[in-house]
Amino acid sequence: MRSRPNIFSTFVLMAAVLLSSFSFAFANLDEGMYTPDQISRLPLAKRGLRIKPSEIYNPNGGGLSEAVVRLSIGCTAEFVSPDGLILTNHHCAFDALVKASTPQKDYVEMGFKANSRIEELPARGSSIPYSIFITQRVEDVTSKINRGTENLTGDALAQAIKKNTDELQQQEQAKAPKGSMIRIQALNNGFFYYLYQTMQIKDVRVVYAPPRNIGVFGGDPDNFEWTRHTGDFTFLRAYTAPDGSSAEYSPSNVPFKPKRFLTINVGGAKEGDFVFVLGYPGGTSRYRESQSIDFSQKINFPFLSGYFRSWSNTLREIGQDDEEKRIKFQSDIANLDNSRKLYEGGETVLKRADVINKRRAEEAKFTAWVNANQARQAKYGALLNDFSTVYKNYYTTSARDRVLRTFPNPSMPVFKQILDAVQAVRQGKPLTGEKRMEIQEAYKDREPVLERELIKFFLRSIAELPADQKFTVYEELFSRFQGKERRKAEETFAEMIAEKDFNTPETIFALYEMSPAKQRDKYPNIADFMTAMAAEKTSIDSRLQRFNAESNRLRMLYVEGMSELKGTRPYPDANSTLRFTYGNVRGYKPREAVTYSPFTTLKGVIEKDTGEIPFDVPQKLKDLQRTRDFGRFGLGDSVPVNFLATTDIIGGNSGSPVLNAYGEQVGLVFDGNYEGLGNDIYYDDNYGRTIAVDIRYVLFVTEKFGNAGWILNEMNIKGAGAARAKRAMAE
């Protein structure tokens, strides 16, 4: 699970629980990405929790949640020592490793190890340094934000909500400790409002990362797949100024002293164990209307999977003959491959589960419930018809809009500058000094081959639009060609933009000196295409603004109505804020006659060994298995590597700790399974699984393979039964 929040999983909750989702036809036991204030109302003791809910999250401070942080690149991480040591995923530190690498020192390939704190490597992403965000307080402020708005609608309601939000945020910021930041967020289209108090630590460094053939073992073929055998972990460390305040990197900075850090249980987990996860899941939309699911399955997911495939394949081809670019593009390729597989799997799962028709059946029940009561008719009677009207208007151009609003993407800087120039001249806007600098900047790191191939991809996508959604100017330019001739014409068009006619900033400057007529005389096809594209994008923006304004209002009412029908208050959709989910270590049956057990071991790693990327096992790992040199981390004749749990996670949860019934870390979330994809929309308890690195493999690789045992010395590591025995005596 390459944890960028635009990617991943979805799950649904038990209707018997007071805080359950209105999750329609299902009563899924382990669904739910709960906000911290909801934890105390869950039936956790019955499920197996052996600590108090207040030991997980305490609004007055002191809970385990204080040890769990959000990385600036969109992952979760956790403090595992009193000296700011952080554990997260290898793929979450991937950008930092790539940024620090050279052809001579490829830290992705060879790994990185600091032998002391002075050798720890500043973690810098592709554009900015890594940082972490610590959640200090979470509060449901829905009633405060809605105060005095009960009888308002439309603009008056929006203005009142904004006024209440601004005032409360200012009041709370004035009371917040120095260095803390207050923000209030609307969730589920304004059904909830939550206040978050956070602080940022700006100096983060890499301590230890295993090599590629452990940290990324299995690569894209194994991504989202079970069985899995990946050591997807990295240790980082947070630093502050000597006075404890947040500061940019400096050699004089000192390790951060967290209020709370996690205890590690070297006994790990076993099948059936109760476990829970704290983390920062990126984004879900589980309470959406049936039309939204229809759009995702039939239009959005298929387009995005093809888009990411084209982008990734081109970067891979560019890097084949250029070692420096191969290293540079590693992170991008990994994330693009992850996204492509995510959307492919999501489409497959939504079809398999027949989610569209299930949601329509739930809406039919909702209609019957509404019609049975006059007051409900007054409030909800028009809701589903209004949705149908909104989507009828939007769907007439939805496939075309999906393609054109993504075109151009950030890796097509010259196309964008041509588009801007054509549009500016038609609007009478001159070339400014600021724009001139922007154009020059566009040429610095561009990849002409990538831009050419992406233009070709978009032209093919436009060609494949439904008959009633064609892009007229494209048809005028290319419809006279067929088959190979059309592909050749599209390639010529792409080459003119990316490689031939506009290969220097000066060629763009010159466009600003031409009249629209002269632009068309010199570049007839390009000028016509860009003119139509600019007009269409303006039209798309207008349509989307209207659609969002209308659908947001309806969606809030939809959540309210469904919640009233079920007599429940749902957990909010994920939004990269602190969440809690729970479940058990458990396998699953992906298809007929196949059963997956929930653990893999080092023996399985070696069984996959082919000697070639991505299944090339390091010789030292083979030797450690052959000699059974497992240290304290072995179990039987091997070392546990990965395991499955029913906890409800999604992109952004990568790096989240998996904790046992006593709140001790036994694993590290790094992926979801293929059969559970599409879970940003729909969760199925029979299939949805978290894939985690077993904590024993993390420690084993660090100490026995990486010879970095000094890192473990600062951690609080307990044996399998020690913590339980101690607690039993106390009780």
Structure confidence by residue, pLDDT tens digits, 427-445: 999 999 999 999 999 999 8
Same domain for 72 and 143?
no
CA–CA separation, 685 and 28 (whole Å): 6
pLDDT at 84: 98
Question: pLDDT tens, 552-567?
Answer: 999 999 999 999 998 8
Domain membership of residue 9 (yes or no) is no
pLDDT at 1: 47
Q: Find the distance separating the first CA and the last CA of the chain, reported in whole Å.
A: 40
Return the sign of the alpha-carbon dihedral for residues 554, 557, 561, 562. Answer: positive
pLDDT at 721: 46
The H-or-E segment that residue 192 falls in is strand 192-201
- Report the amino acid identity of residue 485: E
CA–CA separation, 234 and 250 (whole Å): 22
- Domain-ending residue, one of 548, 569, 590: 569
| DSSP symbols for 546-598 | HHHHHHHHHHHHHHHHHHHHHT--PPPPP-SS-EEEEEEB--EEEETTEEE-S
Domain membership of residue 20 (yes or no) is no
CA–CA separation, 125 and 106 (whole Å): 15
The torsion of the CA quartet 119, 123, 126, 128, rounded to 10 degrees, works out to -120
Interval 50-70 mean pLDDT: 96
Same domain for 610 and 659?
yes
Same domain for 83 and 208?
yes
Same domain for 159 and 44?
no
667: closest CA among 688, 647, 638? Answer: 647
Structural contact between residues 206 and 73, judged by C-beta atoms closer than 8 angstroms:
no
187: closest CA among 572, 570, 652, 564? Answer: 572
Within 8 A by CB and 6+ apart from 51, the residues are 661, 662, 663
Say what angle helices 524-566 and 483-495 make with each other, to 10 degrees: 100
Chain-centre distance of CA 30, in angstroms?
A: 20
Interval 95-114 mean pLDDT: 95
Could you count the other beta carbons within 10 Å of the beta carbon of residue 667? 30
Phi first, then psi: what are they for 296, rounded to 5°? -60, -50
Cα dist. 279→77, 115, 430, 622, 663 in Å? 8, 29, 49, 34, 14
**pLDDT interval class at 7 (50, 70, 90):** very low
Q: Name 34's bridge partners.
A: 580
**pLDDT interval class at 394 (50, 70, 90):** confident
pLDDT at 29: 67
CA–CA separation, 445 and 414 (whole Å): 11
- Domain-ending residue, one of 381, 410, 427: 381
Question: pLDDT tens, 176-208?
Answer: 999 999 999 999 999 999 999 999 999 999 999
- Domain-ending residue, one of 519, 538, 569: 569
Domain membership of residue 27 (yes or no) is no
169 lies in which domain range? 132-201
Structural contact between residues 672 and 719, judged by C-beta atoms closer than 8 angstroms:
no
| Number of domains, the chain | 4
**pLDDT interval class at 719 (50, 70, 90):** confident
Chain-centre distance of CA 685, in angstroms?
A: 21
Residue 727 has pLDDT above 70, yes or no: no
pLDDT at 566: 87
CA–CA separation, 416 and 408 (whole Å): 6
Same domain for 524 and 601?
no
Domain membership of residue 595 (yes or no) is yes
Within 8 A by CB and 6+ apart from 185, the residues are 193, 194, 196, 575, 577
Residue 731 has pLDDT above 80, yes or no: no
Same domain for 652 and 552?
no
**pLDDT interval class at 22 (50, 70, 90):** very low
Residue 292 has pLDDT above 60, yes or no: yes
Structural contact between residues 682 and 350, judged by C-beta atoms closer than 8 angstroms:
yes
Same domain for 99 and 226?
yes
Q: What percent of the chain has pLDDT over 70?
A: 94
Same domain for 90 and 213?
yes
Same domain for 512 and 436?
yes
Same domain for 509 and 556?
yes
Q: Provide the b/e sequence for 227-240 (b: ≥16 CB within 10 Å).
A: bbbbbbbbbbbbbb
Residue 728 has pLDDT above 60, yes or no: no
Question: pLDDT tens, 613-624?
Answer: 999 999 999 999
pLDDT at 269: 96
Place of tokens 């052959």: 626
Q: Name 719's bridge partners.
A: none
Contacts by 383-390 with C-beta closer than 8 Å and gap 24+?
A: 383/554, 383/557, 383/558, 383/561, 384/289, 386/550, 386/554, 387/289, 387/291, 387/551, 387/554, 387/558, 388/291, 390/547, 390/550, 390/551, 390/554
Same domain for 172 and 258?
no
265: closest CA among 671, 668, 691, 729? Answer: 668
Structural contact between residues 694 and 640, judged by C-beta atoms closer than 8 angstroms:
yes
Domain membership of residue 706 (yes or no) is yes
Report the mean per-residue pLDDT for the chain: 92
**pLDDT interval class at 670 (50, 70, 90):** very high
pLDDT at 16: 28
pLDDT at 445: 85
Residue 5 has pLDDT above 80, yes or no: no
Structural contact between residues 287 and 558, judged by C-beta atoms closer than 8 angstroms:
yes
Domain membership of residue 427 (yes or no) is yes
Domain membership of residue 717 (yes or no) is yes
Q: What percent of the chain has pLDDT over 90?
A: 89
Helices (H), 64-211: 94-100, 107-110, 142-146, 154-175
Structural contact between residues 643 and 271, judged by C-beta atoms closer than 8 angstroms:
no
Domain membership of residue 299 (yes or no) is yes
Within 8 A by CB and 6+ apart from 679, the residues are 8, 9, 10, 11, 284, 349, 648, 650, 672, 688
Interval 507-534 mean pLDDT: 95
CATH number at residue 45: 2.40.10.120
Same domain for 535 and 660?
no
